[in-house]
Amino acid sequence: DQQVKQNSPSLSVQEGRISILNCDYTNSMFDYFLWYKKYPAEGPTFLISISSIKDKNEDGRFTVFLNKSAKHLSLHIVPSQPGDSAVYFCAASLSGSARQLTFGSGTQLTVLP
């Protein structure tokens, strides 16, 4: 059973427009959510995160929104740039000593020039 789902395997956006990447989760005990960006043949790099006590976190062009009642989070990139083209993974974690991350299946974002 997938606890974290990214239902869109791919997304294409024009340069300068907004990219919206979506993620749903099923485990209401998750208390921290993260977005990672991954280029081919590289490890994922951390992008932005949000605690379950917040509903929005912003860092430059990146904003993450959390809707706990809907068990849904989204990543907004404004404005989108060609260098943003990558696979984006959302992840969730539970409190505990290991705090391992549960990842979604990823969304390939392509920003068209």
Partner 1 sequence: SQTIHQWPATLVQPVGSPLSLECTVEGTSNPNLYWYRQAAGRGLQLLFYSVGIGQISSEVPQNLSASRPQDRQFILSSKKLLLSDSGFYLCAWRGDSDTEAFFGQGTRLTVV
96 secondary structure, DSSP code: S
Q: Assess 106 for contact with partner 1 (CB under 8 A).
A: yes
Its sign, for the CA torsion 79, 81, 85, 89, is negative
- Contact range with partner 1 by CB under 8 A, out of 16-24, 45-53, 60-68, 70-78: 45-53
Beta strands in 61-100 (DSSP E): 62-67, 72-77, 86-93
Q: What region does 60 belong to: left with phi over 0, alpha with psi -120 to 50, or beta?
A: left
Interface pick for partner 1 out of 32, 52, 62, 110 (rule CB under 8 A) = 32
Between CA 95 and CA 110 the distance in angstroms is: 34
Q: Which is nearer to partner 1, 13 or 23 (CB)?
A: 23
Q: Kindly determine how many residues on this chain lie close enough to bind partner 1 according to the rule CB under 8 A.
A: 25
Interface pick for partner 1 out of 3, 8, 22, 49 (rule CB under 8 A) = 49
Interface pick for partner 1 out of 10, 26, 45, 67 (rule CB under 8 A) = 45
